[in-house]
């Protein structure tokens, strides 16, 4: 058993998951001057995607750093890119606590955070300061809908965030797939998604006229195969730069955790190992539809080197993770990236 496993099982799991997240994130930020020298992930060779050069495929998914307060500390652990957010047009506290839960038997997390964040204006100022100080980590900015904004005004809300944040982002992600904002997933329907993406694209181009900011959409694993293909077709028709597949799931099928414990946790998005197969299948389905050129970011249930290889073989250009980072610890990103450099590496 690794030292981190012992710490996680015997100590960290005895404390509320959200409290531990904030404490761990403070430690990551404080340790950045040391970790940037001692840990830094090896390169697998540059990955060219969306006109950007990524040092390797593995990045940190949105949700860990919602407010752009620890980008460099996370990159120092070995992530080749960091996606912040989800950021909404207006600041909001998110859902009532407790709202973050572990399912240890499944190496999974359930969250119903509800897009708690400082809002687009504050995050934009923070990113401007970070860039001014030389921040160079490849940065994705994930934007979503403010909870109190009605669906008929969602486009305006996304436009606000895009206008403020696009100038500071290496790429921009429209999140319409979190299960924790009422009505958000309805925006995945093609007839609603198409005008939303077009509006965000226009606003991003207005806000960053000297540089085209790549635009992606993040989809749920719970879409039917037909709906996955419809989004793929829309991505091609509308000139999207990529698709992130997938977000968390509302399904609880096939879990090893006791049913009563799962029911006691209640609603929320499930992430981690239970998503591995479905997320891989969605990437494979997408790649078969969109052809070789559109960027696909594979996320959901990537824990081992073999998981990472399989997702790349399914058609992903880039990978992201979150839950495995929580369960496996701060050296995990480096282990995965090193494993990808060795064709016959022993799985981890």
Q: Which parts are annotated binding residues for substrate?
A: 66, 111-115, 175, 180, 247-248
**Residue positions in the annotated binding site?**
62-66, 86, 111-115, 142, 175, 180, 218, 246-248, 272, 301, 322-323
| C-alpha–C-alpha distance, residues 183 and 271, integer Å | 20
Report phi then psi at 122, rounded to 5: -65, -45
| C-alpha–C-alpha distance, residues 182 and 221, integer Å | 17
Token couple for 282: 């969605």
| C-alpha–C-alpha distance, residues 192 and 290, integer Å | 20
Report phi then psi at 36, rounded to 5: -65, -25
Token couple for 102: 């572990």
Q: How many CB atoms lie within 10 A of CB 136?
A: 11
Helix (H, G, I), strand (E, B) or coil at 12: helix
Nearest to 319 by CA among 342, 332, 337: 337
Residues designated catalytic = 178
- Scored b (16 or more CB within 10 A) or e, 33-57 reads eebeeeeebeebeebebbebebbbb
Q: Is-contact 347 50, C-beta < 8 A?
A: no
């Amino acid at each position: 058993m690794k030292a981190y496993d012992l710490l996680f099982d015997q100590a960290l799991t005895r404390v509320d998951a959200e409290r531990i997240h904030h404490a761990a994130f403070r430690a990551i930020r404080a340790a950045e001057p040391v970790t940037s020298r001692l840990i830094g992930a090896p390169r697998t060779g540059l990955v060219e995607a969306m006109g950007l050069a990524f040092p390797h495929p593995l990045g940190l998914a949105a949700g860990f750093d919602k407010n752009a307060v620890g980008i460099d500390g996370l990159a120092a652990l070995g992530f080749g890119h960091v996606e912040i957010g989800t950021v909404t047009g207006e600041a909001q506290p998110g859902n009532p606590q407790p709202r973050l839960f572990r399912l240890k038997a499944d190496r999974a997390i359930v969250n119903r955070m509800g897009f708690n964040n400082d809002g687009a204006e504050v995050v934009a100022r923070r990113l401007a300061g970070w860039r001014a100080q030389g921040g160079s980590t490849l940065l994705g900015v994930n934007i979503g809908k403010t909870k109190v904004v009605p669906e008929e005004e969602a486009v305006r809300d996304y436009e606000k965030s895009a206008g403020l944040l696009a100038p500071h982002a290496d790429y921009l992600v429209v999140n319409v797939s979190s299960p924790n904002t009422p009505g958000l997933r309805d925006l995945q329907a093609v007839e609603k998604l198409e005008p939303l993406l077009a509006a965000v694209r226009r606003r991003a181009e207005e806000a960053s006229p000297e540089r085209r900011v790549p635009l992606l959409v993040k989809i749920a694993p719970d879409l039917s195969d037909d709906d996955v293909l419809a989004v793929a077709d829309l991505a091609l028709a509308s000139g999207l730069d990529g698709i992130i597949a997938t977000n968390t799931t509302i399904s609880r099928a096939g879990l090893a955790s006791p049913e009563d414990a799962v029911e006691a946790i209640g609603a929320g998005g499930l992430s981690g190992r239970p998503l591995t197969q479905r997320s891989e299948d969605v990437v494979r389905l997408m790649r078969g539809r969109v052809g070789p050129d559109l960027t696909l970011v594979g996320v959901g249930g990537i824990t081992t080197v073999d998981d990472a290889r399989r997702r790349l073989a399914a058609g992903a250009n880039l990978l992201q993770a979150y839950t495995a980072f929580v369960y496996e610890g701060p050296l995990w990103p480096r282990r995965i990236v090193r494993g990808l450099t060795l064709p016959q590496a022993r799985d981890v």
